[in-house]
Amino acid sequence: MADSVIAYIRTGSLLSNLSSKQRPLTGFRLSRGDSVGLQRRSWKNHSHGVHCSVSPNQAQSPVVAETTPAVDGNVVKSECYGVFCTTYNLQADEKTKSWKKLIRIVVSGAAGMISNHLLFKLASGEVFGYDQPICLRLLGSERSLQALEGVAMELEDSLFPLLREVSIGIDSYEVFQGVDWALLIGAKPRGPGVERAALLDINGQIFADQGKALNAVASKNVKVMVVGNPCNTNALICLKNAPNIPAKNFHALTRLDENRAKCQIALKAGVFYDKVSNMTIWGNHSTTQVPDFLNSKIDGVPVKEVISDTKWLEEEFTQMVQNRGGVLIKKWGRSSAASTAVSIVDAIKSLITPTPPGDWFSSGVLTDGNPYGISDDIVFSMPCRSNGDGDYEFVDHVKFDDYLWNKIKKTEAELLAEKRCVGHLTGEGNAYCDLPGDTMLPGEQ
């Protein structure tokens, strides 16, 4: 007994239609010396389940009740996702006893380029802090499972002290178990000849299913960041399928657009980008998005008082931000990945760090109760503030002029049309597609 640990494997595809709580567990013993080899074999032999590996020589955070039986002084998880399941008490180590409670973060599309940049930022402590241990859950597809194994191996080999668990899987009901943050990146890109309505339906099905899984097994206060396009309407679909989770917990990523807008304003004004504040992206993450130069500031001074070229602001600046993703694809041969990962980090930090006085940030959130006169029940990028507790509030006292309001109404109309097109996925009845002209960004971020 002293030379072994208890481990469990959740069974695979034959039970994939059951909830995780309904699926049986198979227990066995393994010797400490054999654990690494068995871990590798399990990934191949149980490819439909969720597979877990821990960073070598790292002390694990306890995730079970204190009454759980111990083996050789170590706490054992009663229900874990993989074959390397022993956890250790962080409080017993002088170096880690002051750390926070472990949080669980799931990343979908985890074998993709955006995730490849993001995961290492998460694991390093750059995002949630250098006293915050984390568990990473990597969600992929049958086709990407081998690549997920490679990603998990790289994370292990990096020996991040804060990374306490790495799990991979293709079943969202298993991978989403108890997660505190869901970063939903995976989505089908728009290919040649694919109509917008078809892409909305294809990706909408993905996010409807993921919303149901989050609703069933995630933490009830899970924060959800939707990145996969079309992210606004995907976020709406996801939250509509997760009624047990507060709608305010769902965000569509428009921070990359905000960062792009700040960059262009800084270039024009001849200042560094950190001098630009109060930048809002209104509306959809598409070419109808509205970068707001009316309320933005440069070193505390309204942008229009620093940049007097109104024609540049209304035309060249606005179009540069709206079309930046498409231009990058033409230049680079692929969609943005590193800058998207950075913007995800920025978006998370905006929710877990108090917003500086007088400033705000952009996020695609549910419009219900907004003070701006924007239609309810769509996910629309708006100015938000946070106390650093993961929640947000709308910003009051925002100025509008005719130019800004007319642009906002155009992007609102597009999102309302997208909503009608996915009525079958939001519980509102049959879909009716009357989408306006082709305004979606080309496939990706």
The residues that are catalytic are 285
Instruction: Report whether the peptide linkage leading into residue 354 is cis, meaning its omega lies within 30 degrees of zero.
Output: no
Q: How far is CA 102 from the centre of its chain?
A: 18
Q: Which amino acid makes up residue 152? A: A
CB atoms within 10 A of CB 401: 8
Contacts with 212 (C-beta within 8 Å, 6 or more apart), sequence order:
241, 242
Backbone angles phi, psi at 28, to 5 degrees: -160, 175
Partners of residue 225 on adjacent β-strands = 183, 251
CB-facing half-sphere around the CA of 138: CA atoms within 13 A: 31
DSSP labels, 97-142:
TTSPPPEEEEEESTTSHHHHHHHHHHHHTTTT-TT--EEEEEE--T
Rounded Cα gap, residues 162 and 131, in angstroms? 8
Order of all β-strands in the sheet with 301-302 = 276-277, 297-298, 301-302
Rounded Cα gap, residues 75 and 62, in angstroms? 7
Extract the runs of DSSP E, i.e. beta strands, from 247-329: 250-252, 276-277, 280-282, 290-292, 297-298, 301-302
DSSP labels, 144-176:
THHHHHHHHHHHHHTT-TTEEEEEEES-HHHHT
Q: Are 414 and 288 in contact (CB under 8 A)?
A: yes
Q: Alpha-carbon Rg of the chain, whole angstroms?
A: 23
